[in-house]
Amino acid sequence: MRFPGFEGEWVSFALGQLCEEFQSGKGIKSDQIKDLGSYPVYGGNGLRGYTDSYNHEGVYTLIGRQGAKCGNVRLVSGRTYITEHAVAVKANQANVTEFLNWLFIKMDLGQYSDQSAQPGLAVNKLVRLNAFVPKKEEQKRIADLMTLIDARIAIQNKVIEKYESLIKALCHHLFSVGRDDVKRISDLGEYFSTMNLSKNDLSFSGEDCILYGELFTTYGRIITEIKSRTNKRIGAVRSHNTDLLFPASTTVDALSLISPAAITKEGVILGGDMFGIRIQPNLDNRYLSYLLYYCYREKFAGYAQGSTIIHLHYNDIKNIEIRVHDNATQKRIAQLLSILETMRANQEQALSYYSTQKAFLLKELFI
C-alpha cells in the first residue's frame, strides 16, 4: 500500500547507512537527575527526570538498549540528555528521523537482543541490520500519517482518563452522604461459586462466558457486553442480571484483587476462580459494585490472604458491615454511573479502532 504519486522500488540499506548519528548516550550520576529541571533526561525506558545540562539537540529516535524492555522506541525533540542506556539515532540528509522511528517499531528490534540474564542490544549489530526504505518525500508522508494516528490515540487515552476521573469523583461525592442503612455482605443476597473454566475452554463461537481474569483485564464496574465465548456447557453456572461478581485470586496484590463487577445480562456462563452474590430485589448490583470498589476496597483487601497467590474468600468477608442508600437512591446513582460507564466504553471502543488502524498501517506501509 502506497500514497498516490510515489513510484520506484524501495531500496535496501544497512541501518547505519541511513543515519548521521547512531550511538549510545552518556552516563549521568543519579544525584544529577531531579524531578524538575531545564532539560529532560531519557534512558532506555523513557523519561527519567530532568537535569541542568543537555548532550543532544534536535529530533532523535531513541532505542532502549538494556533490560527487559530493550528495543523499545520513542521519538524526542529539543535539547535533551540521553543516557548510555539508550541509543540515539538521527537520520542523515537523505532520510527522515521520524520515519526511522516508525521503521524501528515495525522491525521489533528487541528480537535482536542478547539472550542473557540482562538482555541488551549492541550498536554494532543494529547498524548492520538491513531494511527497505523509500525516498525521502515518501518517508515524510508515511511518518506524518503515523504520527497523526499516534497523536489521536494519545488524545483518546486522555479522554478515557477524564471519564475515569469523573466517575471516581462522582462516586466519592455521591457516596459521601445519605447512606443510613447498615448491611452485612451476607445480607446482600445469596452466595454462589462458579464452574471450572480456563483459557483453553474459550472459543470463537459458542455461548457467552466470563473468565475470572477478565474481571481485572477486560471489564469495569458494570458488565453489559460479553467479550468471550465457550462451548463448555456441562456443569455451567449461568448469570442472573442481578449478580455481583468477585475475582477470588491474583498474583499481584491484595488491593488489585478487590475488583467487583455487576453483570446485567442473563445466562452468561461464569467460570474460573471467582464467586458471586445474587443480589436481592431491594438492592442494585450496579450501585453495590461502585460502592464496594470506591468506599470499601481497602477494607476488603485487609481480608485477602496469601503471599505468592493472594485469595479472597466469601466466608472471610460475609460479616463486613457496609452503609447503603435507600433503594430509590441506589437506582438513580446506578443509572447515572451506568450512562457514564457506557460513554467511557464507547471511547475505549474508539481507542481500539485507532490502535487497530495503527497496527494495520505499520504492516502495510512498510516492506
- Answer whether residue 98 shows pLDDT above 90: yes
Backbone angles phi, psi at 147, to 5 degrees: -65, -40
Q: Could you tell me which of 224, 315, 215 has the C-alpha nearest to residue 270?
A: 215
Do residues 227 and 203 lie in contact, with contact meaning Cβ atoms separated by under 8 Å?
A: no
Q: What is the pLDDT of residue 56?
A: 96
CA distance 22 to 60: 10
Angle among Cα 298, 304, 310 to the nearest 5 degrees reads 120
pLDDT-derived band at 113, boundaries 50, 70, 90: confident
CA distance 295 to 176: 9
Q: What is the pLDDT of residue 163?
A: 95
Backbone dihedral region of 317: left (phi > 0), alpha (psi from -120 to 50 degrees) or beta? Answer: alpha
Q: What is the pLDDT of residue 117?
A: 61
Q: Which three cell numbers stand for residue 311?
A: 485469595
- Answer whether residue 58 shows pLDDT above 80: yes
Question: Architecture of 11-133 per CATH?
Answer: Alpha-Beta Complex (3.90)
pLDDT-derived band at 66, boundaries 50, 70, 90: confident
- The fold adopted by the segment(s) 181-324 is Adenine-n6-DNA-methyltransferase TaqI; Chain A, domain 2 (3.90.220)
| Greatest alpha-carbon span in the chain | 75
Q: How far is CA 238 from CA 116, 207, 210, 242, in A?
A: 47, 11, 10, 12
- The fraction of the chain above a pLDDT of 70, given in percent, is 99
Element (H, E) at 270: strand 269-271
Give start-end residues of each CATH 3.90.220.20 domain in the chain: 11-133, 181-324
Element (H, E) at 144: helix 136-174
Least confident of 91-95, 155-159, 233-237: 233-237
Quote the mean pLDDT of the chain.
94
In 10 A of CB 228, how many CB atoms? 21
Instruction: Please write the tens of the pLDDT for every residue from 318-357.
Output: 999 999 999 999 999 999 999 998 999 899 999 999 999 9
Q: Which residues contact 339 (CB under 8 A, 6 or more apart)?
A: none
CA distance 262 to 285: 5
Burial of 117 (0-12, 13-18, 19+ CB in 10 A): exposed
Q: What is the pLDDT of residue 116?
A: 66
Least confident of 2-16, 90-104, 283-297: 2-16
- Answer whether residue 134 shows pLDDT above 90: yes
- Characterize the bridge pairing of strands 60-64 and 86-91: antiparallel
